[in-house]
């Protein structure tokens, strides 16, 4: 399908992905140079786990923010960041029709300065090898997971992704269709789109509702109704029988 999006936007997305691959590759090379001994591996695994969980939580925060604040015609951020989430409310399958660079370009654009900063300022000084190793492993896992988040979200809406993807969804290592359908039932819960592992905690504590209350914000749905009185109620995407029980 030919894209009707402006050529400069498409070029920026391609450039953003290429730049992310370059800086992430440089950080991976730095981590690869660490001696492969048990203490270092344990530190790297701990950092990677924390980074993945952090990416999952941040994906939920960004998703909630773009669902809740501003409009898709807001200058600077509206077209690039707000519109994709609002479009997703109206047409949940739209993301499955977007190409690789359109799906992942925005995240890469945001990640490049972060990873570059880790490369520049994360070189360990004398006596700081342990915290630097944990921190850089955390940053690398966070960056990779955030890079993959929109692709994972796309897979959660595809009727038949690859077998390896379905295996990861069933084990809940990445977002499953059944878990993500919880979000589409009201658009007021289960915001995380990397794996959703911490969604039950965030939803039970009502973190996002508390923030909205604190700033005096009244969430509205796409038709302008008070979302606290029922929210956006689009029919959940029908799933094949073998996937409906996932999550």
pLDDT of 121 reads: 86
Inform me whether the pLDDT recorded for 5 exceeds 90: no
Find the mean pLDDT for residues 226-240.
40
In a domain, 19, yes or no: yes
pLDDT in tens, 118-130: 999 877 665 567 7
C-alpha span between 117 and 185 (Å, rounded)? 39
Rounded Cα–Cα distance for residues 70 and 86 (Å): 10
pLDDT at site 128: 62
Per the domain annotation, does 126 fall within a domain? yes
Instruction: Determine the average pLDDT of the residues in 147-169.
Output: 96
Residue 221: the pLDDT is 53
Is 1 part of a structural domain of the chain?
Answer: no
How many alpha carbons fall within 13 Å on the CB side of residue 169? 29
| pLDDT tens-digit readout, 177-221 | 999 999 998 888 999 999 999 999 999 999 999 999 998 877 655
Query: How many domains would you assign to the chain?
Result: 1
**Given this model, what pLDDT does residue 13 score?**
93
Quick check: is 226 in a domain? yes
Over range 168-181, report the average pLDDT.
96
When pLDDT is averaged across residues 77-90 and rounded to a whole number, the result is 80
Q: Evaluate the CA torsion angle 72, 212, 210, 58 in order and state its sign.
A: positive
Higher pLDDT, 207 or 4: 207
Q: What does the pLDDT look like over 23-47, one tens digit per residue?
A: 999 999 999 988 878 888 999 999 9
Range name among 151-155, 163-167, 210-214 with the lowest pLDDT average: 210-214
| 67-80 burial: b if 16+ Cβ within 10 Å, else e | bbeeebeeeeeeeb
Segment among 66-70, 134-138, 150-154, 199-203 with least mean pLDDT: 66-70
The arithmetic mean of pLDDT across residues 113-138, rounded, is 83
Q: Is residue 198 part of a domain?
A: yes
**Domain assignment of residue 204, yes or no:** yes
pLDDT: which is higher, 142 or 236: 142
Residue 2 domain-assigned (yes or no): no
Average pLDDT over the chain, rounded to whole?
Answer: 84
Average pLDDT over residues 64-92: 83
For the residues of 77-133, what is the DSSP string, one character each? TIIIIIHHHHHHHH-TTGGGGS-HHHHHHHHHHHHHHHHHHHHHH----TT-HHHHH
Q: Is the pLDDT of residue 228 over 80?
A: no
* Domain assignment of residue 193, yes or no: yes
> What is the extent of the structural domain holding 216?
7-244
* pLDDT score recorded for residue 220: 57
């Amino acid at each position: 399908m030919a894209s009707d999006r402006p050529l400069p936007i498409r070029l920026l997305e391609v450039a953003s992905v290429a730049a992310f691959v370059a800086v992430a590759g440089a950080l991976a090379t730095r981590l690869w140079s660490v001696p492969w001994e048990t203490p270092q591996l344990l530190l790297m695994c701990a950092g990677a786990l924390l980074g993945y969980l952090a990416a999952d939580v941040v994906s939920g925060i960004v998703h909630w923010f773009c669902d809740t604040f501003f409009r898709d015609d807001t200058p600077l951020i509206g077209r690039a960041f707000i519109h994709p989430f609002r479009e997703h409310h109206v047409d949940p399958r739209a993301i499955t029709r977007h190409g690789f660079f359109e799906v992942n370009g925005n995240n890469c654009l945001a990640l490049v300065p972060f990873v570059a900063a880790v490369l520049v300022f994360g070189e360990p000084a004398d006596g700081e090898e342990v915290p630097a190793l944990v921190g850089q492993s955390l940053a690398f896992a966070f960056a990779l997971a955030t890079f993959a988040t929109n692709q994972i979200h796309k897979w959660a809406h595809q009727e038949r992704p690859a077998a390896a993807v379905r295996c990861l969804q069933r084990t809940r290592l990445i977002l499953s269709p059944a878990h993500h359908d919880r979000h589409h039932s009201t658009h007021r819960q289960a915001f995380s789109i990397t794996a959703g592992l911490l969604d039950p905690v965030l939803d039970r504590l009502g973190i996002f509702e508390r923030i909205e209350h604190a700033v005096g914000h009244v969430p509205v749905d796409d038709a302008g109704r008070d979302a606290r009185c029922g929210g956006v109620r689009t029919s959940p995407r029908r799933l094949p029988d073998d996937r409906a029980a996932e999550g």
